């Protein structure tokens, strides 16, 4: 087992070294393939994948009865990781600079696909196991300290996480800030980082938890999901019904892909945020309400407890 773990670690370290070099070799081919092999994106993503692989290998060697759960979470993590790569490195990222609709699809992939998949995979414990034992213990003590635990509880509480994500969403769609993100790679990266971080906090708040505490929070989480569907839907509706483009960066392009005008492209982007985006939050909220009702109705566990 120790030999297998060491072998996995050597392969992982080799991957960290090779992937950035491969990315650099493919930068020149970006214009022909449409894939953006940006080392500033690919290196952190490679490190994340390598650490998760090491942690998973270690846990698999030590686990006896939890292999199925570990496999499920690994699949969720891989799906979320692929969604991130698809949003940030695929031709969609290049199209987003020429079409607001493509930009909106990119943001929806980050916030409604990648973020919940990564959260449901619960990767923090696995990533910790990728670290050496002493480092893992030191990080564990740091995470449990009041300086980290208190802000974490605030950021992952349903109400505060909902307010944070709503604020980030409306803040970055202000015309002045969105145009700045279109002009500057640094501001664009900051925009994406804010979207991803706020979405991770939000989905952790409404989707993660077990036992009685989780059951008590399901109603509140469902309410926060409904509120989020309204907040994001309202912003999308404003875009969809607007007859003039909001963002000078897209308005200056004149004709958008597929022959759309900037105003039509914005209206389509608004529909993407309004309908699919709102639908995801509403469906998850309904699932939580259904699970809450199934634990409280007379036909559920409560009835059996009373009858016994």
Instruction: Please compute the mean of the pLDDT values over residues 51-77 and round it to a whole number.
Output: 86
Q: Is the pLDDT of residue 308 over 60?
A: no
DSSP 256: P
Spatial contact of 37 and 27, defined as CB atoms under 8 Å apart: yes
Instruction: Please compute the mean of the pLDDT values over residues 98-110 and round it to a whole number.
Output: 92
Q: In this predicted model, which residue has the larger pLDDT, 257 or 127?
A: 127
Q: Is the pLDDT of residue 159 over 50?
A: yes
Q: In this predicted model, which residue has the larger pLDDT, 132 or 167?
A: 167
Q: Is the pLDDT of residue 6 over 60?
A: no
Q: What is the pLDDT of residues 167-206, one digit of tens each?
A: 999 999 999 999 999 989 899 999 999 999 999 999 999 8
Spatial contact of 221 and 158, defined as CB atoms under 8 Å apart: yes
Confidence band, pLDDT 50/70/90 cuts, at residue 260: confident
5-14, 86-95, 170-179: which has the minimum mean pLDDT? 5-14
Confidence band, pLDDT 50/70/90 cuts, at residue 295: low
**What's the number of CA atoms in the CB half-sphere (13 Å) around residue 117?**
19
Strand positions, DSSP E, the chain: none
What are 53's two structure tokens? 């692989």
Highest mean pLDDT among 18-22, 286-290, 292-296: 286-290
Instruction: Please compute the mean of the pLDDT values over residues 42-49 and round it to a whole number.
Output: 91
Helix/strand/coil (H/E/C) assignment for every residue in the chain = CHHHHHHHHHHHHHHHHHHHHHHHHHCCCHHHHCCCCCHHHHHHHHHHHHHHHHHHHHHHHHCCCCHHHHHHHHHHHHHHHHHHHHHHCCHHHHHCCCCHHHHHHHHHHHHHHHHHHHHHCCCHHHHHHCCCHHHHHHHHHHHHCHHHHHHHHHHCCHHHHHHHHHHHHHHHCCHHHHHHHHHCHHHHHHHHHHHHHHHHHHHHHHHCCCHHHHHHHHHHHHHHHHHHHHHHHHHHHHHHCCCCCCCHHHHCCCCCHHHCCHHHHHHHHHHHHHHHHHHHHHHHHHHHHHHHHHCCCCCCHHHHHHHC
54-58, 95-99, 290-294: which has the minimum mean pLDDT? 290-294
Stated pTM of the model: 0.81
Q: What is the pLDDT of residues 244-254, one digit of tens each?
A: 889 988 888 77
């Amino acid at each position: 087992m120790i030999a297998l773990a060491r072998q996995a670690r050597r392969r992982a370290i080799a991957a960290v070294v090779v992937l950035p070099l491969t990315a650099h070799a493919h930068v020149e081919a970006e214009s022909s393939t449409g894939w953006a092999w940006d080392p500033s994106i690919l290196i952190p993503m490679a490190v994340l994948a390598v650490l998760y692989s090491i942690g998973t290998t270690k846990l698999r060697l030590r686990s006896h009865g939890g292999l199925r759960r570990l496999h499920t979470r690994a699949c969720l993590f891989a799906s979320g990781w692929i969604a991130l790569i698809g949003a940030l490195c695929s031709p969609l990222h290049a199209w987003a600079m020429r079409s607001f609709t493509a930009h909106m699809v990119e943001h929806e992939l980050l916030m409604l696909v990648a973020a919940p998949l990564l959260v449901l995979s619960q990767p923090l414990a696995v990533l910790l196991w990728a670290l050496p034992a002493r480092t893992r213990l030191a990080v564990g003590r740091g995470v449990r300290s009041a300086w980290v635990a208190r802000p974490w509880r605030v950021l992952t509480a349903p109400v505060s996480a909902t307010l944070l994500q709503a604020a980030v969403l409306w803040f970055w769609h202000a015309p002045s800030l969105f145009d700045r993100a279109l002009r500057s790679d640094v501001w664009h990266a900051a925009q994406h980082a804010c979207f991803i971080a706020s979405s991770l906090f939000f989905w952790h708040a409404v989707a993660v938890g077990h036992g009685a505490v989780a059951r008590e929070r399901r109603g509140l989480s469902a309410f926060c999901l409904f509120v989020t569907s309204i907040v994001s839907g309202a912003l999308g509706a404003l875009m969809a019904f607007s007859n003039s483009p909001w963002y000078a960066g897209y308005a200056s392009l004149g004709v958008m892909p597929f022959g759309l005008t900037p105003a039509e492209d914005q209206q389509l982007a608004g529909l993407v945020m309004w309908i699919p985006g709102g639908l995801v939050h509403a469906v998850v909220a309904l699932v939580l309400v259904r699970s809450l009702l199934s634990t409280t109705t007379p036909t559920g566990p409560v009835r059996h407890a009373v009858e016994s």
